[in-house]
Structure 1
Amino acid sequence: MTDLSRKKKKGVGVHPIIPVTPDETQGDLVFMTSHKQSPGLVNLNIYATGVTQQEIEQNKQRWKRKGIEPFKGHPQLITELAPHFRRLYGASPASSVRTLSTHLAWWWRLLDRCRDTAPVRSVEDLNDIHYATYRLSPCPSGNAALFFRLVALAREERGLSPLYWTALRIPSKDSELVKLDDVKRIYHWLKRPAFATLEKYQSDPSALPTKHEVVALFTMFLLNTGWNPQVAIDVDISICSEDGVPSCIIPHPQTNTHSIILSHKARARNSLQSAFSNNKRKLSPHNILLVLLKQTAPLRDRIRENITILRQLAREQQITATENHKLTKQIAENQALLRSPWIYRLRTYFSSAYNSANEKNAIWDISRISNATNVKYNASGTGQHAIPILRFAAKDINRHLAPGTKDVAEDISLSDLRDAFISWRYQQSGYSWLDAMLAAGHGNIESLRAYLNKKQHKAFSQHEFVRVGEQLWTTITEVPVLDMRGALPTVIAAKVAGVSDDQIQRWREGKDRTYVGMGCADIANPPKHISPNHKKGSLCRIQRCTLCPENAILFKDSYIHLAKRIAELRYLRAEMPAISWIESDFQEELENTGAALRTYDEAIVAHSIGEWETAIAEGRHRPVTMEGSYA
């Protein structure tokens, strides 16, 4: 049975909660989150009092933004749930906590539907009628898991029996993947304002960044890192080394021309995220951060002044708890500005002056990209009538397309760029889940499934299945002619890879084999990870075929030379320093070669390996060292 008291959601903390509340009589219904970077006030009183249609009509903007519909209040129920809600989520960002709190509105409306048959005052009144009502029209599983967990904790606290309610998993729909050609067009469009921004800063080093300039550089940063927008937003450049380089940029361990950019993903338990940057490129993530750090220096000096003033006000004795919370929030907001590379000046920067009556202007004359909805753009350069930058780019690209050219999708979002980046890496690696997982920065395969649940990827799998089936039946009908009865799996694999019948016949005759006795589907174009220095037009000289699953083809007698390679690798492992072995990819090659040999008779393979090991020991065969060099 599922334990409903277990934590189901990512990114929630159990850190100590700030003990002060605006009004101590309100208890846990009103509290301040203790998140270091984004604290804020959370008010659950609406679930005690309820909200009417009239109240929603009178304040449409507020309720429309929250997506609230009318419901009755349940003061005792929310009083029982609120302490557990605060304990579980009180250390999370305020925006996340407020979003989670709005999930309760769905359940309050469900309780209204059951008011006549099963009225509820407390958690002890909840029963199977409410659960059955939920199952008839379920809400998203995350919403249900939140409510079930709060109810389980509240009932446990009161000594009541558990309800054993479980959240229904609603299967996600296949989503369309943004086309790579569209991403390329947008990338080239973005290069124009991004390069123009760099040229402006070069000609005028004292220029303060505007929102449009920061938006262009931020979007270019996303395209080059493949990160979530929020991960890029949370990059911290407030701590710098003696040479002025932020701590979020660390040197690459193997080359001076590259660096590694670091950030954290709050929704994944603050896990570390990294991205490689080619420092030679002007619009690399490394150079974008350094340019913005330099150009925003005057703004950061102003922010430090704001923080000093606010801290002085916070130390005053005669302020209410509400004022204290307000100052705490403002200090946190200014500290977030100081950490962020994505800050820019507003029009009020030079006209506003700090005083007690105008403190808001003094704080907000500097702003930042704080979420994905801030990434907007327009032609005039003002904030009026701005639209998301990717939509603006798509519209501008489509206006200048040649007749008959397919338009760029205008509904593309910033998160689509990450999907496109992961999918591109997935395809480039020959549909390797491991490579896609590394590109996504995920810790397990399960987290990756949502990104690969795309119609295009499923269509590719279906297409490959059909291709294999077609080649299978075609080969079976041609077997008497080609006389390949003993090599049917190899022939099918080769044909699926697009190899000609003549080449297959040459392989069967022992010709055109690689160093390890295998065939290569494209020996003139080895992958970069196998032969980074390959000369176009020549044949692959590396031929470590078990590291190249996209091109390697096994034959019935390939075990002879694969056994030779096993013997060579074992010899190298015994002769070279352990640290050198670990840092090389010999271990991966050894494991892959062993996996390939498991398809052959174990006794024959063992005998062949023994013969090669004897030949090496007696000096009749010299092992070839191919890691990092040509054979």
Structure 2
Amino acid sequence: MSIRNIKKDHLKEHASVELVTPVDLPPLPNHEDPLKFWTQHETENMLVDLTVFAKGELTRQRKGGSWVGSFTGRPQLILQMAPAIEKVTFGYVKGSVRQLINSMRCWWRLLDTVEQAATMVGQNMDRVEDVRLLSRVHLEFVHRSGMRTEMYYPFYRIVNATLKLHNSSGLHWHPPENPDPKRYLPPEDQVKSLRIALKQEWEKVRQCWAQSDLVCANGFKPQTEKESTIQKHWQHFVKIQESSGRALPTTDELREGKGKGVFLKSTGMGILKMRNIIFPSRWEVETAFHLCLANTGWNPAVLSSLDACNGYEDFLQDHPRDPDSYLLKGTKVRAGGKEQLVKGLWKTKAGPGFIIKTWLERVAPLREQLKTMLVTEKIRYSQMVNEGASADELTCQLNKIQKIEMGCRSVWLYVSQRGGIEWLRPNSSVGVRLNGKPVTYMAKLIDQINRERAILSEAPISVVAPSDFRDLFALYVWRRTGGNILTLMHTLNHAHLRTTQGYTENNILNAERDSQARTFLDHLFDELDKGRVDITILAHLQRHGAVSKEMEQRLTEFRAHQRSRMGMACKDPFHPPAGIQPESKKNRMCGSQRCLLCKSHAVILPESMTGIAMRVEELNTMRDVLPVGIWLESRFPEELRNGIDILRLFSPDEVLEARTHWAQAIDNGSHYIPGLHIINNLSEAT
């Protein structure tokens, strides 16, 4: 099914006011403080405030997040480092600035720790208020504390930049090493289940939209109670849109001044349901985003950085030589702005091109409302400058403007449960709830999948992070192309083949080996819990999966069979066929053991190859030493043909090695052919 093209002219009438010419902001507020400066980034210009490192932080000041501990202030040290920090952070985005600040907090605590340790042992140590006082003692504490490289390097670079500004030699310290990252890729059957689940969730989203658009079309007459409910909510929402002039009215506007309980009791309508009929929710945007990740091989940062402020024509276009296809272009900032290309068919409803185009059309009124808000806030900023507002007030207003600008650029707009226009952010991971607790989208989706897999007695899928989708996509391409590294290089948009080689080794081959080892250990401990270690069962679990009860019963019966000297199993050794042992008596075991002639009782085992090869070489020797008449009158030729035919079931190299071994053993007398002397004596007597 496909989403119908429903005209929504009512949204265009009041989704936004007429936009004025973009407002140019006045100069940035000047704090006149050497510890406060701007990063001068084009879109994420951030105020860097180093005051906390001068004053210290003895109690928790920030709400939310994690607080590792207190540290004392070092005013001279931070003043000395501030020029280098301002120079290094020029052009930094907010994430890079936060990483630097976190690194400095970690080092400030370490400096306190070193000085406290020196005091405890009675040694005099100058308080570090100059970078030139850093010594090997501090490096020793770095390694002893287990500091990670992402906390070590930002501060280390600032120190060397500061030393360079003071014409001093830089530090040449041996950095700490992070433990090797543990990459876990689920088995292919689990990856397939995950991809199917994502497609199914996206199809549910499309079906929900299609039904809402159909019911909300002008002139539609509801046929069911559900359709009547949807239409009732939609009509009320449209009425408030027209009266408020906003595509997304506030909660108070939707309730028309009534309280929550009064509104629900008098109308029977829910505010959240109203919004979800018109605009996407957090679950829906997460579904679309993760399905695009699964089908592009991009990192989450690349997919999040698509700039949709002016529509999608800048990054999503028809293929120049194929109108049925599209080209999706992303930019990888960490690769120096390298372009990431994805080609697909417009008709593929689960493809990234179709998803992004459909999404942008759905949230277009929200984007227009954000643009209107942006113009209003920029005008407000200019007014604050003219009114002589403080630098801190201007900074707060500027941060608000930058936040709205980020929303205007983002593809992934949605409406939150609180009724605000929100968008997915690269560092925003927890957005849905599972059993009352906030979790990631993938955690909840995999929980749903595992509930279904548990019913089928299938192994559960471990949690997959958004960053893992690039590895899963690479593994998929690697499998489909038979390990073609050039195709993988093109798919991952790598500039150099050596990059793809390293990526393949670290993220695919090593992951496969780790997965195999992990799976074997899981199976081993499961078997130990059952009080057994069965090599055959372990091998089957590792290669093919679960062992059913029927298979275990067959294995038990199979092992109960007795073995002949050729390593073949016998279904009933006490009742051999008359053609094999005519003089057999009741309860007398088969003595001839000519298993290659016994089709009714003989069972060929994987380990029977060596014994069959032995019998074939015995028969070859007997053919050479016995008279032709006796050979032809016996069933030895048939037995030899059967043995040669059975050996074709095994590896040719292993068969050749085994036959050569037994032929040499017979020639040098180390192997004796049973019954050969009796046959020779009979032939001489006749």
TM-score, with normalisation over the residues of structure 2?
0.56
CA distance in 1, matches of 2:429, 2:145: 34
Equivalent AA in structure 1 for residue 42 of structure 2: K
Q: Shift of the alpha carbon at 1:305? A: 0.9
Judge conservation of contact 1:215–1:377 (CA < 8 Å) in 2: no
Matches within 5 A, 1:491-502: 501=652
| Contact residue 183 and residue 417 of structure 1 kept, 8 A | no
What do residues 45-88 of structure 1 show as CA deviations (whole Å, max 9, x unaligned)?
22222222xx13xx5744xx254322222221222222222222
The answer to whether residue 304 in structure 2 is matched with residue 233 in structure 1 is yes
Residue 343 (structure 1) shift: 0.4
Look up the match of 1:342.
Answer: 412
Work out the CA distance in 1 between the residues paired with 2:63 and 2:489.
Answer: 41
User: Which secondary structure state, in structure 1, belongs to the residue aligned with residue 414 of structure 2?
Assistant: strand
**Which whole-Å CA distance do the structure 1 matches of 2:82 and 2:650 have between them?**
66
The Cα shift of 1:190 comes to: 2.3
Q: Is the 8 A contact 1:37 1:333 kept in 2?
A: no
- Tell me what 1:114 maps to: 114
The match for 1:370 is 425
1:412 to 443, 448, 464: 464
Kindly state the Cα deviation for residue 281 of structure 1 after the two structures are TM-superposed: 0.9
Instruction: Report the more deviating stretch, 121-130 or 171-180.
Output: 171-180
Preserved CA contact (<8 Å) 2:431 2:438: yes
Deviation per CA, 1:520-573, whole angstroms, max 9, x where unpaired? xxxxxxxxxxxxxxxxxxxxxxxxxxxxxxxxxxxxxxxxxxxxxxxxxxxxxx
Structure with larger Rg: 2
2:56 to 34, 50, 53: 50
Give 1:135-174 correspondences, 5 Å limit.
Answer: 135-174=143-182
Q: Within 2, Cα distance between the matches of 1:310 and 1:448?
A: 49
Q: Quick check: 1:236–1:263 contact (8 Å CA) kept in 2?
A: no
How far off is 1:248 after superposition?
A: 0.8
Matches within 5 A, 1:464-475: none
Q: Matched residue of 1:132: which SS?
A: helix
CA shift digits 1:462-519 (9 cap, x unpaired): 9xxxxxxxxxxx9xxxxxx9xxxxxxxxxxxxxxxx99759xx9xxxxxxxxxxxxxx
Give the secondary structure class of the aligned counterpart of 2:85: helix
Residue 128 of structure 1: aligned partner: 136
Q: Are 1:90 and 1:97, in contact at CA under 8 Å, matched by a contact in 2?
A: no
Aligned to 1:324: 394
1:336 and 1:447 mapped to 2: Cα distance? 33
Structure 2 CA distance for partners of 1:428 and 1:270, relative to 1, 3 Å:
same
Change (3 A) 1:218 1:172: same
Which letter does structure 2 place at the counterpart of 1:395? D
The equivalent position to 2:341 in structure 1, one of 246, 271, 274, is: 274
Displacement of 1:261: 0.9
Q: Tell me which residue corresponds to 1:437.
A: 489
Q: Secondary structure at the match of 2:172?
A: coil
C-alpha spacing 1:408/1:30, structure 2 compared with 1 (3 Å): farther
The offset of 1:402, in angstroms, is: 5.1
2:381 aligns with 314
Count of residues in correspondence between the two structures: 427
* Whole-Å separation in 2 of the counterparts to 1:501 and 1:460: 31
Spell out the pairing of 1:597-612 with structure 2 (5 A cutoff): none
The alpha-carbon deviation at position 341 of structure 1 amounts to 1.5
The residue number in structure 1 matching 2:355 is 288
2:483 aligned counterpart, secondary structure: coil
3-state SS in 1 of match to 2:323 = coil
Take 2:179 and 2:200, find their aligned partners in 1: how far apart are those partners? 41
1:333 aligns with 2:388: no
CA positional deviation for 1:264: 1.7
Change (3 A) 1:145 1:80: same
Percent identity reads: 24
TM-superposition CA deviations, 1:230-284 (whole Å, max 9, x none): 21111122224xxxx5211133344333212112223333332222222111121
Q: Is the 8 A contact 1:201 1:295 kept in 2?
A: no
Give yes or no for the alignment of 1:98 onto 2:169: no
Secondary structure class of the residue paired with 1:246: coil
Matched, 1:210 2:281: yes
Asked if residue 305 in structure 1 is aligned to residue 375 in structure 2, the reply is no
Q: Distance in 1 between matches of 2:27 and 2:110?
A: 33
**Partner residue, 2:535:** none
What are the Cα deviations for residues 125-176 of structure 1, in whole angstroms up to 9, with x where unaligned?
A: 1223223333444522343232222111111211223332342444524422
CA contact (8 A) 2:283 2:441 kept: no
Q: Where does residue 394 of structure 1 map in the other structure?
A: 446
- Secondary structure of the residue aligned to 1:373 is coil
Separation in 1, partners of 2:72, 2:135: 19
Measured against aligned partners, the alpha-carbon deviations of 1:327-363 in whole angstroms (never above 9, x if no partner) come to 32222222221221210123565xxxxxxxxxxxxxx
Q: Residue in 2 aligned with 1:81?
A: 81
* Residues 256 and 34 (structure 1), Cα distance of their counterparts in 2 relative to 1, 3 Å cut: same
| Pair 294,175 (structure 1): closer, same or farther in 2 beyond 3 Å | closer
Structure 2: which 5+ runs fail to align? 1-25, 119-124, 217-277, 518-609, 611-616, 618-648, 657-686
Moved more, 284-293 or 140-149: 140-149
Please report how far the alpha carbon of residue 369 of structure 1 lies from its aligned counterpart in structure 2 after TM superposition. Answer: 0.6
State the alpha-carbon separation in 2 of the partners of residues 386 and 216 from structure 1: 17
Give the equivalent residue in structure 2 for 1:68: 68
In 2, the alpha carbon distance for the partners of 1:112 and 1:145 equals 19
1:33: which partner in 2?
A: 39
Cα deviation, residue 299, structure 1:
0.9
- When residues 124 and 196 of structure 1 are mapped into structure 2, their CA distance, relative to the original with a 3 A threshold, is same
Determine helix, strand or coil for the equivalent of 2:331: strand
Which amino acid in structure 2 is aligned with residue 323 of structure 1?
E
Partner of 2:319: 252
* 2:70 counterpart letter in structure 1: P
SS at match of 2:328: strand
